[in-house]
């Protein structure tokens, strides 16, 4: 059984470097300093998210359903993956305004007594 190569050091979290490659067929070995791919540097959780995202063909609603998480959480995880690949993440002002508006609605409902504190906390954590 083959194991997946680690992308980061389990002690300090620094990127690991591949220094030896071997052919299982002819037993040839090559030593040196080789870069790993950016996907190898991701955490298991990030790679699993990417697999789910691709399986869902980028449909965020389907990703929400499959993983049982909210839209902002999907966007946050996607932003984390984008950053892990070395790309800048541009925050969409409309999305931020939408999240802020939703939080305000939750807090307003709490102050009117329409929600309990526990319900409000649960809803706020989803955002």
Task: Please write the tens of the pLDDT for every residue from 65-115.
Answer: 999 999 889 999 999 999 989 898 876 555 677 777 788 888 888 899 988
Say yes or no to pLDDT of 27 above 80: yes
> What token pair was written down for 101?
């508006």
Same domain membership, residue 69 and residue 48: yes
Same domain membership, residue 102 and residue 84: no
Q: Do residues 8 and 16 lie in contact, with contact meaning Cβ atoms separated by under 8 Å?
A: yes
Percent composition of the chain: helix, strand, coil (DSSP 3-state, to 5): 55, 10, 35
By three-state DSSP, how is residue 20 classified? strand
CA dist 63 and 71 (Å) reads 9
> What does DSSP assign to residue 87?
-
What is the average per-residue pLDDT within 43-58?
95
When mean pLDDT is compared across 16-30, 54-68, 92-106, the lowest value belongs to 92-106
Same domain membership, residue 47 and residue 26: no
pLDDT of residue 58: 94
Q: Which domain holds residue 66?
A: 42-90
By three-state DSSP, how is residue 92 classified? coil
Q: Return the residue matching tokens 């359903």.
A: 65
pTM score: 0.58
């Amino acid at each position: 059984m083959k194991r997946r190569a680690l992308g980061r050091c389990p002690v300090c979290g620094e990127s690991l470097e591949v220094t030896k490659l071997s052919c299982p067929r002819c037993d040839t070995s090559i030593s040196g300093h080789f870069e790993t791919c950016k996907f190898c540097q991701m955490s298991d959780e990030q790679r699993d998210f990417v697999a789910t995202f691709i399986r869902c063909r980028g449909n965020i609603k389907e990703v929400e359903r499959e993983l049982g998480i909210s839209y902002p959480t999907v966007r946050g995880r996607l932003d984390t993956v984008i950053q892990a690949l070395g790309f800048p993440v541009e925050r969409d002002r409309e999305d931020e305004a939408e999240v802020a508006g939703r939080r305000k609605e939750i807090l307003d409902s709490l102050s009117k007594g329409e929600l309990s504190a526990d319900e409000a906390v649960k809803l706020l954590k989803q955002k």
